Amino acid sequence: MSVRLIESLATTPALAALFSDESVLRAMLEFEVALARAEALHEVIPKKAADAIAAGAHPANFDIPALADATFRAGTPAIPLVKMLTEQVRKADAEAARFVHWGATSQDVADTAMSLLLKRAKPILSGDLKRLETALADLSERHKNSIMMGRTLLQAAPPVTFGLKAAGWLAPVRRGRKRLQNAFRNAAVLQLGGASGSLASLGDKGIPVAQTLNAEFGFEDPPPVPWHTQRDRLATLVCACGVLTGSLGKMARDISLLMQGEVGEAAEPAGEDRGGSSTMPNKRNPTACSLTLAAAHRLPGLVASFLSAMVQEHERGVGGWHAEWPIIAAAVQSTGVAIASMAEVAEGLSVDTEKMRLNLENTNGAIFAERAMLLLGAKFGRDVAHDLLQTAVKKSAAERRSLSSVLAEIPEVIAHLGPAGLKQLETPEQYLGSAEVFRKTLASDSDPQDDDKEQ
């Protein structure tokens, strides 16, 4: 499936195909066919009419550009779709054409079609999320002893391990996946309420028809009460997309910063025509991180737009419902491209542990000022030790000497720590605290629902 050029950085081929005109049309026609079959089963309409509707509902019979033009005038795709389908059925069976769309309303078609698309989107996103989680868990384990300097407010800070950093990316991704799976399951539900949500048009056959239709589509059972202007399930899904993509954006931001030339501690996988520049042959740009960050920039606006559209009037919204299709499609596709991009990064990320160590050493021990302050604070008090270390760090930077060598010139420091203590001061392995415990905790999180069957 080809992708529109203007959307080429905002989706994946699989999701572009899923939300394509052809796929959306097919989902709407699936609703009409399944509705007719369910109604025939419960003797609401003749079985012959249901068969004729199914025969006429072939996507190739429909002019998509004409349908789109008519949708603009009608305010919903269901009205021109039903008209076109009726004409197709009438060609073969004029009597059967009377029963097209029997008892349903336009929103039943649109909402159920979107639910079908969301049901099919879930495994696409879940597959890439599993790839990402597996790759991050592997990165964390392989680099549990790879020491690097921490960075707070973009400034050098006490050391951490790259394994801990990778586990820190993994944990919110895992939480986000669970949140997203639940949201997909709750949002992909049947909509069948008729004109005003009572399904009065089907009399006492309404609930049985809905149950049969629900089973046909494989949605969660039992089918919900019609939810025409109650949009909380879809809102929860869009919000879950926003939160997960924000977490992926944080990971992408970290990696893109680690890729900076003057840092050089990690890099996205390289490849032909990947990460280059149109003018600078030397460049290796964070392409996948850029796509993820772009998605993370888009999602907050989409979330806000959907939430504002929730305020819908009475039994059928004016404008709010009509705003949703492009918002949902964009949110799911943006989330999908972010997941796929970071899965590719995590699976092929190159990590330069030597450069991590070099960058740490180039701080001349300044990142161990906290450690020295705590050691000296036990003797002189925290405030006195803080002032002493602040002066020493400034002198270390000005003279481009190690912090320990500057502290060695202060008699009271030597008296308290001794030469051996000063020598050990700038050993990063001795100032990692509970980093490995935290890494294991973040990386070992498991859930018995992780391997639940995708629908």
Catalytic positions, written as ranges: 277, 316
Confirm if 336 and 124 have CB atoms less than 8 A apart: yes
Separate counts of helices (H) and strands (E) for the chain: 17, 4
* Token pair of 46 as six digits: 């003749």
**Measured distance CA(270)–CA(139) in Å, rounded:** 18
d(C-alpha 120, C-alpha 453), whole Å: 13
Write the CA distances from 289 to 251, 283, 349, integer angstroms: 8, 15, 12
Task: Answer for the pair 177, 133: CB distance below 8 angstroms, yes or no.
Answer: yes
Q: How many residues does the chain have?
A: 455
Tell which residue, 99, 115, 315, 117, has the closest CA to residue 209: 99
Q: Which residue has the tokens 């008296």?
A: 415
Q: Which residues are bridge partners to 161 per DSSP?
A: 147
The enclosing H or E element of 237 equals: helix 232-258
How many whole angstroms separate alpha carbon 216 and alpha carbon 195? 22
- Whether the CB-CB separation of 453 and 122 falls below 8 Å is answered with no
With beta carbons less than 8 A apart as the criterion, state whether 85 and 56 touch: yes
